[in-house]
């Protein structure tokens, strides 16, 4: 029996970071860098990242290691890590 997982409500203006390459390769290693340039207002709430990967990831924010993942999941129902990075952000890019 396959467990049921709740759907995550991704915002319609969510910014997805990834590759346009159709990955049919094995052992492909990719690095992504994204200068966010967000206007962070402490009163607007936390800045959260929702990260999913079919293999592994390591997240660094402003030169600080934050997390690695993802946790194990079913191939047809990938896990998503929800990370609050509000305290790691700095003014500027």
Domain residue limits, the chain: 45-88
Report, as an integer, the average pLDDT of 46-57.
Answer: 81
Q: Identify the residue whose tokens are 């997240």.
A: 59
The residues that bridge with 61 in the sheet, in sequence order, are 64
pTM: 0.67
* Alpha-carbon separation of residue 6 from 9, 25, 40, 77, 78 (angstroms): 9, 30, 28, 11, 12
The CA distance from 67 to 53, in Å, is 13
Does the structure show a pLDDT above 90 at 66? yes
More confident residue, 34 or 46: 46
């Amino acid at each position: 029996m396959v467990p049921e997982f709740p759907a995550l409500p991704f915002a319609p203006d969510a910014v997805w970071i990834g590759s346009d390459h159709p990955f049919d390769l094995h052992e492909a290693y990719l690095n992504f860098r994204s200068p966010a340039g967000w206007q962070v207002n402490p009163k607007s709430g936390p800045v959260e990242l929702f990260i999913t990967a079919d293999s592994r990831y390591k997240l660094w924010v402003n030169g600080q290691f934050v997390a690695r993942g993802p946790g194990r999941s079913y191939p047809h129902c990938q896990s998503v890590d929800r990370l609050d990075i509000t305290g790691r952000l700095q003014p500027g890019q």
